[in-house]
Chains A and B, each alone.
Chain A
Amino acid sequence: MRHLLSAGDLDLPEACLILDTAAQLASVTDRSVKKLPTLRGRTVVNLFFEDSTRTRISFEIAAKRLSADVINFAAKGSSVSKGESLKDTALTLEAMGADAVVIRHSASGAPHRLATAGWIQGSVVNAGDGTHEHPTQALLDAFTLRHHLRAGTGDLAGLRVAIVGDILHSRVARSNVLLLRTLGAQVTVIAPPTLLPYGVNDWPCAVSYDLDDVLPHADAVMMLRVQTERMQAAYFPSVNEYSRRYGLDMRRLNLLPPTAIVLHPGPMNRGMEISADVADSSRAVMVEQVANGVSIRMAVLYLLLGGMADEDRRDQ
């Protein structure tokens, strides 16, 4: 594995390797000295063209726990906004000797472009691109599901997962559908028809417009953030109507089987897609998702960079 661009690029053994590695690395977090020397001397650049404090910090902590040098490059402008172009930024990072570039970008495919256009040699990790993918989020979600519902080992065969909300614009949903499928789970996406992508019926998942129908048969439900701006573009008539039809409140929580858990990639709109009492309930695992995010990102960086021998991989 050279880059991590799409959750769809991972086959079952690779996905399980990442999850297993994350489980091992998670123990580091329990030590008083939370550091491994694995990536000493390696440079990881967090290249964020979009503001995302939580994802950036998660990658930063992950890299630091592996002893990598971390550079945070908050590129305010992109070539879209007439700032420095992605290419020139990439060439700059290459000249400075970045071993891995963790990129968040508003343009779908920007990480793919960074990895394939010949601008840089290092590994590229997609930390969220436009409305395309967010593979480490899917991995940390899978890790969380496995921990709660599969005793922390193996795949997710037979697990029933409902993903609810703005599937159309969600990179989290895309990566989750692909990865959960690889891990053997049965995914249902639930949204108003306006927030489902064209062609969703050919995705490797089931599709429903009715949340109440799906919840009694779900082992886990993943609520997606819905931006209120979508209302202006007529994706739904009002926040209240959205919340009534697709929000997770206590009544709906009680439709779930008793062991089912609730996930949310954050940040949450309390009162919109999820009610405050559900968000604060014992069924909600959002805080664990954040902690697991660090372990997953450690595993990804470790496998991309540490898997090589100690010689500088750039010389090879």
Chain B
Amino acid sequence: MTNKSTVLRGVRPYGADPVDIIVRAGVIAEIVKAGTGSGQVVEADDLIALPGFVDLHTHLREPGREDAETIDTGSRAAALGGFTAVFAMANTSPVADTAGVVEQVWHLGQATGLVDVYPVGAVTVGLGGEQLAELGAMATSPAQVRVFSDDGKCVHDAAIMRRALEYVKAFDGVIAQHAQEPRLTVDAQMNEGLLSGQLGLTGWPGVAEESIVARDVLLAEHVDSRLHVCHVSTAGSVEVIRWAKSRGIKVTAEVTPHHLLLTEDLVATYDPVYKVNPPLRTSADIAALRAALADGTIDAIATDHAPHPHEDKDCEWAAAAFGMLGLQTAFSIAMLTMVNSGLLDWHTLADRLSVRPARIGHANGHGQDLLVGAPANIAVVDPSASWVVEPATFASKSRNSPYAGMTLPGRVVHVLKAGKASVLGGDLTC
């Protein structure tokens, strides 16, 4: 970091009137009248500045599945998507259930440096759901883990979930639950409904999510701890969370871009690019999820970016892996579903894409308003641009995007992470 100034020339913070944002020594040093700032100029006329996005839910696959993604390629994809911080889920190989693994992930993230990679620690040893992992050791490691999750698997044992919620209070951690009652979802392939019956694919009923969410908010209330619900996918879960929040229960929740846009109807193609867990639901669920994100019942958009090598999707539905890419399309999908529909403005979009997720995960230095003195983690976007999704051009190592060929609105143009440009003009700086 030098004391040289970078000037975001003519940029519109949250879509407001143009200004020059002057960044120096990693922070927003000054905000002055457009065209008057001096330093190294980054042209940002008519572009919108938002706090750098924070993704509570990514799968960077390293260690173990470097054929699908690495921390380096995942960081590149994240930066191009406007993110300055991502949380890397624990279901790697080996599982991130020890201080050693989370430290490795942390250091690899720092070495790449394009985004801050916050490792998520596993709740239970090997994601096995039976014995608590050494949560304290992960919390006090250099990675300072605060978010714990067995994501991919549900902490289904109520007693283990209760203990986990209690235990993390000692270091203000949060349990991020993948809410999926396992006995109700044996071999589940898609949303349970009329279509699953017609397609002959085993159903994943909404109640399998809702029953766990209901149990967990009650547990969180009982032990007065923090619960975060991963990838909420049903209208019923929204109702439970809304009720829990009204009671003052410390619950937060996220929704993925794909659950805000895509419906189960796509499964009729049997194309596994649409196979994801939790599954794509109905248009009624989408409407409820959008409304909940708009009114704050759901706190954050999180990608659940899940890279898979081609062969794991180029097969019959039942054999295919669950998951889809999300980092490089998240902003556009959020804009399409939430801003263009009038449900969120730029301020509230920033709240859901940056401020609240940073707060939930204790990503210090991220998710701060664009004010003088704030760390310069900034995403600069072009709301008037549109682009055609070509997964072959993605920085991610994998190509499993459900949006291939779609024309999406909005484009991430520049990204500053701690004052340093990671993306300029839509390209990585290194």
Contacts and interface: CB of A to CB of B under 8 A. Distances in A.
A230 to B, nearest CB: 13
A107 B194 contact: no
Contact of A108 (B192, B193, B194, B318): B318
Interface in B199-236: 199-203, 205
Interface residues of A, number: 30
A198 B192 contact: yes
A99 interface: no
B191 to A, nearest CB: 10
Interface string B30-63: 0000000000000000000000000000000000
B197 A197 contact: yes
A117 interface: yes
A3 interface: no
Contacts of B200: 108-109, 129-133, 171, 174
A86 interface: yes
A217 B381 CA distance: 67
Interface stretch (B105-113, B164-172, B308-316): B308-316
Contacts of B316: 78-80, 86, 105, 107, 109-110, 113
Contacts of B271: 113, 116
Interface string B287-324: 00000000000000000000000010011111100000
Nearest to B312: A79
Interface residues of B, number: 24
Contact of B318 (A80, A197, A198, A202): A80
A198 B193 contact: yes
B3 to A, nearest CB: 57
A265 to B, nearest CB: 16
B364 interface: no
Contacts of A86: 315-316, 319
A174 B197 CA distance: 9
B317 A107 contact: yes
Interface string A53-95: 0000000000000000000000000111000011100000000
Interface string B175-194: 00000000000000100111
Nearest to B195: A199
Interface string B314-355: 111111000000000000000000000000000000000000
Interface of A: 78-80, 85-87, 105-110, 112-113, 116-117, 129-133, 168, 171, 174, 197-200, 202-203
Interface of B: 189, 192-203, 205, 269-271, 311, 314-319
